[in-house]
Structure 1
Amino acid sequence: MTTLLQFFSVILLALGLLGCKDANELQLNSVTTASTPSVSAPAPTATEQKTVALVMKTLTNPFFIAMERGARRAERQLGVQLQVKVAAQETSIEQQIQIIDDLIGAGVHAIIIAPGDSQRLVPVLKKAADAGIKLVNVDNRLDPQTVQQAGLAPVPFLSVDNEKGAYAAAQALALHAAPDTQAIVLEGIRSADNARQRQRGAERALADNPAVQLVASETAHWKIDEGYSVTQELMTRHPKVQLVYAANDMMALGAIQYLQEQGRTDVKVGGYDAIDEAVAAIRKGQMSVTVDQQAAEQGFQGVVLAQRLLQGETVPLMTLIDARLVTASTLH
């Protein structure tokens, strides 16, 4: 595990480099299309400056650093005052709830929430809505049934088609699989809607390939260290596995570290998010595929939607932006 800690340290050092590159600069192939038109930024007005809070899961995942960068771009263009709040880890749901409660007390005008859990944050968001705070949901969708049961009006949602993106990635991962190839899936947090969608997409793609047998699917909670340990556990039980699909890049990088330590160069790994470290791994031949869901664009468009709600406009209840498949061929 010493080498894993060293590997994680390199990733943390690399986070500081993300600010110099926008996710949209990558020239990649589109695998999904927007179901509603992309939201354009309204021109700044001379009205009172509004405070918008972006509440994310963590900054230990470069995906959310890119999301903040996009939100900061919208802040500059729209003239809003942006506050960015994050929990310690993607599993720190109670901390996210406390953050929202604190923002209610602080009197912010709008909250953009990337929830760590699709159900448990609904009650505190209902409290925010009752206080007159506008809400926008990004990345991971709040559970519609839980929202309805709480008496909360539907919250505008902005993301990508997670199931379609994961299907495309897992399909590419298994494209040239030999007969009787075994595969495993590393899931995200099971109570998160985007984790469930990615699991469904990946499992459907693997099932559609008659050469592939899915032998195990376990959660690694979006984390690099759990990606390592769960891969170790599953590969010990299923040593013939040759395909590993992870529902995010952090788990995929943990899996890669374990495989490198074991000298398993015969195993192909896929991920989701297209963080810089994953793209670098693809360039090096350590990883086969990932999905760019345009984190910076999600952050930007989330602030745009919040601003429009504050101006009294009606916005779409669902906006899906493009996701892009990233492979070695798309990077050339």
Structure 2
Amino acid sequence: MRTTSRASRALVLAVAASTAVGLSACNRSSDSDTGTGGQAQIGVALITKDSTNPFFVAMQNGGKADAAKNNVKLTVASGKQEGDDQGQITAIEDAIARGDKGILITPMSTGVNAAIKKARDAGLYVIALDTPPDPADTVDITFATDNREAGKLIGQWAAAQVAGKPATIALLDLFSDKIVSVDYNRDQGFLEGMGIDVKDGKKNGDEAPTGKYTASGGGDYTIVCNEAGNGAEDGGRSAMEKCLAKNPNINVVYTINEPTAVGANAALKAAGKTATIVSVDGGCAGVASVKSGVIGATAQQYPLKMATEGMAAIATVARGGEKPKPDTGLDFKNTGVALVTDKPAEGVKSITADEGSKICWGN
């Protein structure tokens, strides 16, 4: 059933409530003097993929704002850019050397797994944020968006837009030389949402290049390309240019994140083409791109909640408290997702860009 205004308002209120823990950190006065009832301060490292992507900046800022609540000495580190495994490995080794009690990390790739194991062997409690490692038990637990579900939402929405007409699809992924769960879960989830059969659910690009999609009545599809944009605007533009060179008639574009989507749109515009672009993240800039029509729909996630709840969990465990547990049916704690679009689709629950802007993150 088409999402009504009342249902939409109910959804945004539910999402806002679920993220209240993270968002309230920005408005909380410092309680570093009292800590947690006189308990000793503990060291925690927050290691993101980079320090420029608005998603990771929001995560870092949320962690810093909330550290005093748990009497945590938070050290923030990151790779230099997406793909910098060694930068994260160095930060993990530094956390061990400092005697930190735990690590929050958005793992770059399987290349950092050995360093994470070294930290856990040294007694640190390690929580992955946003990107579940492969395998999942590389860390103690993951706090993340259900990226598969995020992909399915934008896939279902995209199928409703083509509505039985041929779908000529470009898939703009994260990497071509690394296997990252967030990458294949979003890509494969999108295809599943479109009703396209996937072969190996943990591998991008092995599905049949042509066939039938079954969502929203179904129709023919052609997958033109799987190109890596490295999660950046310039990468998204160059990846889209490569795809257009293969087939100028692309009408559906999946993008790993919103900077990639903006770059893809620039390439389409330069070529005098238009297409339905879908993405994942839900930062304020991305929601604004939905409002302006650059992105048709995006799946919104909540990095502040990941950071603040993860940090609180490490503090609890370090002081002898209960360890967090995965949500039922998942191997991680789900921090929520909502589809943001101003063109609601039949049977796909969503919120508007105006509603999404009230709970977005970043600038």
1:254/1:45 CA distance change after superposition, 3 Å:
same
Q: Measure, in 2, the Cα distance between the counterparts of 1:155 and 1:142.
A: 10
Asked if 2 retains the 8 angstrom alpha-carbon contact of 1:158 and 1:320, the reply is: yes
Matched, 1:291 2:299: yes
- Aligned-residue offset at 1:181: 2.5
- Aligned-residue offset at 1:76: 2.9
Q: 2:124 aligns with which of 123, 133, 150?
A: 133
Q: Measure, in 1, the Cα distance between the counterparts of 2:154 and 2:250.
A: 18
Asked if 1 retains the 8 angstrom alpha-carbon contact of 2:79 and 2:88, the reply is: yes
Q: Measure, in 2, the Cα distance between the counterparts of 1:65 and 1:157.
A: 19
Asked if 1 retains the 8 angstrom alpha-carbon contact of 2:102 and 2:124, the reply is: yes
- Aligned-residue offset at 1:295: 1.1
Q: 1:180 aligns with which of 145, 166, 172?
A: 166
Alignment of 1:111-260 (within 5 A): 111-117=103-109, 119-144=110-135, 147=138, 155-177=140-162, 179-189=165-175, 190-206=178-194, 207=196, 208-209=214-215, 210-215=218-223, 216-260=225-269
Stretches of structure 2 lacking an aligned partner (at least 5 in a row) = 1-8, 26-34, 197-213, 327-331, 344-351, 355-363
Aligned residue pairs, count = 294
Q: Measure, in 1, the Cα distance between the counterparts of 2:148 and 2:220.
A: 19
Indicate the larger mover: 205-214 or 220-229. 205-214
Asked if 1 retains the 8 angstrom alpha-carbon contact of 2:132 and 2:181, the reply is: yes
Q: Which aligned segments of 4 or more residues in structure 1 are displaced greater than 6 angstroms?
A: 38-41
Q: 2:340 aligns with which of 308, 313, 326?
A: 326
Please give the per-residue CA displacement for 1:56-81, whole angstroms capped at 9, x wherever unaligned: 00122111111112212321322211
Asked if 2 retains the 8 angstrom alpha-carbon contact of 1:168 and 1:325, the reply is: yes
- Aligned-residue offset at 1:246: 0.4
SS of 2:104's partner is strand
- Aligned-residue offset at 1:39: 8.6
Indicate the larger mover: 72-81 or 135-144. 72-81
SS of 1:241's partner is coil
Please give the per-residue CA displacement for 1:152-198, whole angstroms capped at 9, x wherever unaligned: xx511111211111110122123121511311111123511111111
Q: Measure, in 1, the Cα distance between the counterparts of 2:159 and 2:63.
A: 35
The alignment-based identity, stated in percent, is 24
Q: Measure, in 1, the Cα distance between the counterparts of 2:136 and 2:300.
A: 29
Q: TM-score, normalised by structure 2?
A: 0.75
Indicate the larger mover: 136-145 or 79-88. 136-145
Asked if 2 retains the 8 angstrom alpha-carbon contact of 1:308 and 1:315, the reply is: no
Say which structure, 1 or 2, has more relative contact order (CA 8 Å, 6+ apart): 1
Q: Measure, in 2, the Cα distance between the counterparts of 1:212 and 1:46.
A: 64
Asked if 1 retains the 8 angstrom alpha-carbon contact of 2:89 and 2:112, the reply is: yes
Q: Measure, in 1, the Cα distance between the counterparts of 2:248 and 2:193.
A: 22
Q: TM-score, normalised by structure 1?
A: 0.81
SS of 2:281's partner is coil
Q: What's the RMSD between the two structures over aligned residues?
A: 2.6
